[in-house]
A = this chain, B = another copy of it.
Amino acid sequence: MCQLLGMNANTPTDVMFSFAGLAQRASEHRDGFGIAFFEDRGLRLFIDPESARTSPVAQMVRQYPIRSRNVIAHIRKATVGRVALENCHPFGRELWGRYWVAAHNGDLKGFHPPLHGSFRPVGDTDSETAFCWLMQELAKSHASVPTVAELTHTLRELLPVPAAHGSFNLLLSNGQALWAHASTSLHWLVRQHPFGAATLADEDLSVDFGALTSAHDRVAVVATEPLTADEAWTAMAPGELQVFVDGAPLVAPNTAAPR
C-alpha cells in the first residue's frame, strides 16, 4: 500500500516538516514518490520512480521551501502497475483551464470504465484509470469550473463508483480546494492559532509552529496515518468525503455535517 499526504492552507505554506515525516516512511514504500504544489493556478508536479529517501528530486523538495496553498504527496509501494515514471502519483490533467491532480492509496478490482477520449491513462495503474474517469465525469457534469460546493456535490455522487471496486483513499485538488475521500485510512487535523509544537511520529524531529506562523495562518493536513505523535488527528470514516478550503473543512450544503 502507499501513503498519502495532503495540505490545504489559507496562506502559502511549506510542507517540509510533513514531507520529512512522509519520506521517513519510504523505506517500505520505495517504488517511487511524487508531490504536487499549486501556486495559484500554476502547478509544480515532481515525480520520481526512486524512493523518496534517496531521490535527488525528493532531496531538492526537502531543501527548497516551496510555499503553496494546496499540496498532494504520495509515496508508492507498487501493487498494480510496474515501477515506472508514468505510474508515479500524483497524476495531473487539465480541465476547464485548471490543472487537477490526484493521488490514490488502495486497490481497485475490475474497474474498467468506458473512457471516451478526453482523458486516458498513460501508465497502467488502476489509480490513473479512476482519475481519468473522474475527470471525464466531472467534464460531463459542468460546463466550466463550478463552485467548490457544487464540485463537492458532484464528487459525492461519483466517488462511490470506483470505491465499490475496492479501497479508494483519494486526495484531489485543482488549486482551489483539497478533496479527501476515505475508504480504509485517512486522518486529518487543522493547525491554527495558538500554534504549538509537534513531533514527527517516525523521526526525532520537532517543530514549533508558533515561531513560524502568524495568528491568521490556518493549515489542514491529511495523511494516511497520523504524522505526528503529539497532535489530535481525526480519523475519517469509510466512504467519507471531506473538502478543505482555506485550511479548514468545508461543510457542503445539502449534506449533514461530516461528524
Contact = CB atoms under 8 A, between A and B. Distances in A.
A41 B96 contact: no
Contact of A64 (B56, B93, B117): B56
A99 interface: yes
Interface stretch (A22-30, A43-51, A106-114, A155-163): A43-51
A98 B117 CA distance: 12
Contacts of A60: 56-57, 59-60
A64 B56 CA distance: 7
User: Binding site of A, secondary structure by majority: helix, strand, loop or mixed?
Assistant: mixed
**Most chain-B CB neighbours within 10 Å: which of A60, A123, A139?**
A60
Given A63-B56, A64-B56, A42 B94 contact: no
A121 interface: yes
A208 interface: no
A40 interface: yes
A17 interface: no
A39 B49 CA distance: 11
A42 B84 contact: yes
Contacts of A253: none
A85 interface: yes
Top 10 nearest A-B pairs (CB, nearest first) are A42-B85, A42-B86, A97-B120, A60-B60, A56-B64, A39-B85, A41-B86, A118-B118, A41-B122, A97-B122
